Amino acid sequence: MDESSLPGVGAEEIERARAPLERAWTLPPAAYVRPDIYDLEVERILRRSWAPLARTDQAPEPGDYIATDFMGQPVLLVHGLDGRFRAMANVCRHRAAPVAEGAGRRKLFTCPYHAWSYDTEGRLIAAPLMDGVEGFAPEDCRLGQIRTEVWEGFVMVNLDPDAAPFAPQVEPLRRYFQAFRMGEMAVVRTLTYDSGWNWKVLVENFMEAYHHLAAHAQTLEPAFHARDSVVPDSDGPWSILHMPAAAPDASRERLVQGLEDWQAQSLFAAVAFPHFLFALHGDGMAWYQMLPQTAGRFTLNIHICAPRYLLELEGADEIIAALEQATAAIHAEDIAVNDLVWRGLNAPMTGQGRLSTLERSIWQMNQWWLTQMGL
């Protein structure tokens, strides 16, 4: 088998994955399990793609900040006193210590090592005892600025300073879900999981309803039949999975107001490649925030979102608890099958598998992934 430019992957395997959906195969197991391929993903995809770092409602007031890590880069997300959201390198320009930890609200960020202080725009405001340093220019010591956009309430970041803007690439995706008014939703609960698989395993699981037949036989399948799922055409770096209700019930009032019946009674899954995942339904949204760490591990935060007015309603806690319980139950079923997939992908006799026509989103993602990897 002739080798491709991807370590451990043959040209024939790439050709199979590149075939039209009706003849297509999955990516080869090496694309998931090999650390050297993951390193190439980091270089060619994960550090060059847009990903959501937070929702604006998670840092609602000027001065609010969140310190986190994104693809090995310590990041400080700040709601500036000027009202703008900025992502900056959380690395002091003096001796590289983080200038903030956790989350909170500040007007100044003071490094705990030598007390250099920065404002909410990352500008150096104070550097004690630097008066005698020849040529020292505070204006040259601003915290490193990271590309940032706000899209539908999500604060998006990209470590590539030359990346194309995010919003124009996904405009059809925004229009498709415009009626849900995602920008008006708020995070009401967050579930965190240490996930022991390659990040693509979860993306694939999230973007097909075929597995409802077995993995969710008693939960999702009775409500959203696998056979009825539809994946619309996509001309950009995104995919949509539409799962119509098996037994539509227009009598139940939904939390998201102003939807047409077909929207209110359906379940939708969407991905902006590579791993910006969100599910929409008549009562809100679940945003699956993925933070890859290695070829076989990532942190998953499932942020449960609902229309903001819910927080003011009597009985909101019970409604939110029900949303949390349902989300956790479904993901527990997904964990079980993803564990099985990961076990199989690491087995020596495992090869590529044929895709079902119900797995069109996976095929769309694979075509994008192969192109980004230079194949």
The string of pLDDT tens digits covering residues 168-216 is 999 999 999 999 999 999 999 999 999 999 999 999 999 999 999 999 9
The DSSP call for residue 27 is: P
pLDDT in tens, 10-24: 999 999 999 999 999
Indicate which CATH number applies to the domain containing 65.
2.102.10.10
The CA distance from 225 to 19, in Å, is: 27
User: Is 2 domain-assigned?
Assistant: no
According to DSSP, the residues that pair with 272 across neighbouring strands are 238, 276
Helix (H) or strand (E) holding 119: strand 117-119
User: Is 243 domain-assigned?
Assistant: yes
Is the domain of 195 the same as that of 144?
A: no
The CA distance from 328 to 98, in Å, is: 34
* Rounded average pLDDT over 160-172: 97
**Nearest in space to 114 (alpha carbons), one of 122, 104, 124:** 124
Which 3 state secondary structure label does DSSP give 265?
Answer: coil
Which 3 state secondary structure label does DSSP give 309?
Answer: helix
The DSSP call for residue 163 is: P
pLDDT in tens, 36-64: 999 999 999 999 999 999 999 999 999 99
Is the domain of 36 the same as that of 77?
A: no
Is the domain of 229 the same as that of 189?
A: yes
Question: Can you give the pLDDT at residue 1?
Answer: 45
**Nearest in space to 307 (alpha carbons), one of 156, 125, 199, 185:** 185
What is the band of 367 on the pLDDT scale with cuts at 50, 70, 90? very high
Domain boundary among 162, 179, 214: 162
What is the band of 3 on the pLDDT scale with cuts at 50, 70, 90? low
State if pTM tops 0.85.
Answer: yes
Is the domain of 181 the same as that of 40?
A: yes
Helix (H) or strand (E) holding 74: strand 73-79
What is the band of 324 on the pLDDT scale with cuts at 50, 70, 90? very high
Question: Can you give the pLDDT at residue 251?
Answer: 79
Question: Can you give the pLDDT at residue 42?
Answer: 98
Is the domain of 225 the same as that of 289?
A: yes
17 neighbors 24 (Cβ within 8 angstroms): yes
Return the percent helix, strand and coil in the chain, to nearest 5.
35, 30, 40
* Rounded average pLDDT over 108-113: 98
- Which long-range CB contacts under 8 A does 367-370 form with residues at least 24 apart? 367/18, 368/237, 368/273, 368/274, 369/27, 369/31, 369/45, 369/200, 369/273, 369/274, 370/14, 370/17, 370/18, 370/27
Domain boundary among 162, 191, 213: 162
The CA distance from 119 to 299, in Å, is: 30
Indicate which CATH number applies to the domain containing 366.
3.90.380.10
User: Is 71 domain-assigned?
Assistant: yes
User: Is 244 domain-assigned?
Assistant: yes
Domain span holding position 209: 11-50+168-372
Domain boundary among 162, 181, 216: 162
Among 135-139, 249-253, 274-278, 366-370, whose mean pLDDT is lowest?
249-253
